[in-house]
A and B are shown apart, each in its own frame.
Chain A
Amino acid sequence: MKLHEYQAKELLAEYGVPVPAGSIATTPEEAAEAAAGIGGAVVVKAQAHTGARGKAGGVKVANSAEEAGTIAQEILGMNLVTNQTGPSGLPVNSVLIEEAIEIDRELYLSVAIDGSAAMPVIIASQEGGMDIEEVAAQRPEAILREYIDPAAGFQGFQARALAFGLGLTGDLNRPATSLIESLAKAFMESDGSIAEINPVVVTKDGRLLAADAKFSIDDSAMFRQKSLDEKRDRTQEAEKELEAQDAGIQNYIKLDGNIGCLVNGAGLAMSTLDAIKMAGGDAANFLDIGTANSPEAVVSALRIIGTDPDVEAVLVNIFGGLARTDIIAQGVIDAKNQGLIPQPTVIRLAGSNVNEGNELLDKSGLELVRADGFAQAAQAAVDAIS
């Protein structure tokens, strides 16, 4: 789950990471009031789950409280389209009003999970504000790394090594060490999956501040991160995907094509998209139904697929293990009978209880295209449209 910048900063500040003075506003009046409270020049920053907000016109400087209100008026209600959002963009419902800071240096700091090492890794670089992937590719020596031992915890010497490596010596060394330790602690205690402060800024008046912040939380850990779960902003998520989540389907992603897919298992679901592409078509969605243990769960999933205006054919590809094909078959029959999937429907069943599943389909008398292998199933779905 992603946090907004202002939420990430609130969280980091609780752990002692220094952030610029600022407050959140949802109306131009609130924005002007916040700017007056801060005094002097402020930055008005659109809050949406995407980077590159500046380039899209979502971040602007205001020199007075009145101007802050005017700019907030423009930004609030915007649909922010960046290279990370896709063409539909994301709505902006709040702005962060922050003191304008005079920057001396910009640094990069983040924490991510290194799957191969099975440890979180803190990544730091003196080249903040830049495209860090490009820095990593072209000058790997400019990237510093320290691992967080999940049992022993992050150690002081590691924070010092990073602080010195970032060139933060003298009076800045202690605050830098403390900032890095605070970031590590916030990450571990919040079940972080990604935390990024880009840039960490050294101001002209000698302060160290987290000028921007991204923070994502492990979706599997939400059951024990209840206070963070309450910060979730559903307006930043695709409508169809929310509908899927409300129906208990965690693994649904809306795509651009016209073949609606219901598959069990993430690997098979990805391969089904591959097979559709190779047959000359495009999938309208990725949907891993997992271990669907009732026909009702299947019906809910098919309702989401069937009501998607982009969907012109439906492909059901199931290889039952823990999931039972007879339960899936019953769900497909129920959905057809309820008129939820009027589109031509291709179904391929294999694995657990496949004979029972196929018998249910035979007896249903419904018009379904049946396929044996899943490459054939993908071809049949493509053919059903053309």
Chain B
Amino acid sequence: MSLLLDENSKVVIQGFGSAGQREAIICRDYGTSVVAGVTPGKGGQEIEGFPIRNTVQEAVDEFNANVSLIFVPAPFAADAILEAVGAQIPVIICITENIPVLDMMRVKRVLTTSDSILIGPNCPGVINVGAHARAGIMPVDVYTEGNVGVISRSGTLVYEAVDQLTKVGVGQSGSIGVGGDPIIGTNQAQALALLEDDPNTAAVVLIGEIGGTAEQEAAEFIKTMSKPVVAFIAGATAPPGRRMGHAGAIIAGAAGTAEAKQSALREAGAHVVENPGDIGSTMLNVLKNQGLA
């Protein structure tokens, strides 16, 4: 389960509205076992061939659900994550964006007392290509099976990187979208550790963004990795613009800039790409040089 999902993954979808239903069908068509949807008050119904239950616990008891994919609207999303934690779901993936920061801080506090892993929120989810296991919203057509894993804060940049890799003939083991919010369940360093341990992954694309210090923490982990990493930082040319006062800047200091992140990653031995269009071709070269392609 280094890539969080495998052939034995049984996905329950929390928030079975239009987006939840549409993605449930795409997951099922891809070959993923989606065992139930959870919508309180609709338990016992069947929608698009999926059994609906009132609680996550029922989906666990009845269908052995071991992955939760959350589409619940932002005001109620923290509650949904905590419900999955309470039902001891090992892998919880939250797609919802705009969850209040205070709610996520409380969720993080509860997660420290739990064995559950949270991916997201505000993320595209996770896919294991070889296992045909998809718990997310990514377009499946752009993926081809191979040995490169992709980690990204941004959803659309996962698709972009995967598309570039596929177009230069480099397949993927899978991707983990860690999420674009300031407070997320699993950071880039932790996601790198998962791929370092994954036997089907030989190299990693890491896509970061300006702001915060997560890329520097990832760089520290890269120093310990055996697998090559190609990295890109989005927002290098973004104007400083919306400064959020001084207090926020003290925490990260100058660490939030693209230059600081790029140089930390370079020093850690990552292959840093400056033009976002060069991610695929750079990875191809790295793999060739290492005799992996």
Contact = CB atoms under 8 A, between A and B. Distances in A.
Interface of A: 51, 84, 110-116, 118-121, 123, 131-133, 136-137, 143, 149-151, 188, 191, 193-196, 198, 214, 216, 218-221, 223-224, 253, 255-256, 263-268, 270-271, 273-275, 277-278, 286, 290-291, 319-322, 350-352, 354, 373-376
Contacts of A151: 106, 109-110
A120 B105 contact: yes
Contacts of A273: 235, 237-238
Contacts of B187: 116
5 contacts: A113-B101, A220-B98, A319-B156, A350-B142, A376-B277
A112 B159 contact: no
Contacts of B106: 150-151
Contact of A194 (B104, B152, B209, B245): B245
Nearest to A86: B241
Interface string B97-108: 111111011101
Contacts of A264: 156
Residue among B97, B141, B154, B245 with most chain A CB within 10 A: B245
Contacts of B234: 267-268, 270-271, 274
Interface in B51-103: 74-75, 95, 97-102
Closest A-B pairs by Cβ, 5 of them: A267-B154, A375-B277, A265-B156, A268-B156, A110-B247
Contact of B250 (A136, A265, A277, A351): A136
A267 B213 CA distance: 16
Nearest to B98: A220
A212 to B, nearest CB: 12
A214 B244 CA distance: 10
B292 interface: no
Contact of B100 (A216, A220, A268): A220
A220 B207 contact: no
Interface in B149-200: 152-157, 159-160, 163-164, 180, 182-183, 187
Nearest to B254: A137
B159 A115 contact: no
B253 interface: yes
A51 B246 CA distance: 10
Given A84-B243, A133-B249, A267-B157, A322 B19 contact: yes
B244 A351 contact: no
Contact of A350 (B75, B102, B163, B236): B163
Given A136-B253, A265-B155, A350-B159, A374 B102 contact: no
A132 B101 contact: no
Interface string B263-282: 00000000000111110000
A344 B47 CA distance: 45
A115 B250 contact: no
Contacts of A374: 160, 276-277
Given A214-B245, A268-B154, A319-B163, A133 B250 contact: yes
A209 B253 CA distance: 28
A319 B108 contact: no
A340 to B, nearest CB: 24
A268 B157 contact: yes
Given A112-B250, A224-B75, A351-B139, 8 more contacts: A116-B212, A121-B251, A151-B106, A267-B207, A268-B154, A278-B274, A321-B138, A350-B142
Interface string B127-144: 000000000011101100
B159 A111 contact: no
A118 B105 contact: yes
B210 interface: yes
Nearest to A109: B247
B245 A275 contact: no
B277 A275 contact: yes
B217 interface: yes
B75 A274 contact: no
Contacts of B142: 350-351
B288 interface: no
Nearest to A190: B102
A270 B157 CA distance: 10
A150 B180 contact: no
B49 interface: no
A367 B274 CA distance: 32
Given A194-B245, A265-B156, A322-B137, A274 B276 contact: yes
A188 B100 CA distance: 12
B129 to A, nearest CB: 16
B278 to A, nearest CB: 8
Contacts of B228: none
A112 B251 contact: yes
Contacts of B41: none
Interface in B203-250: 207, 209-210, 212-214, 217, 232, 234-239, 241-250
A113 B182 contact: yes
Nearest to B100: A221
Contact of B109 (A111, A136, A150, A373): A150
Contacts of A219: 98
Contacts of B254: 137
B154 A266 contact: yes
Residue among A111, A133, A220 with most chain B CB within 10 A: A220
B124 interface: yes
B276 A218 contact: no
Contacts of A265: 154-157
Given A191-B102, A350-B159, A274 B139 contact: no
A191 B100 contact: yes
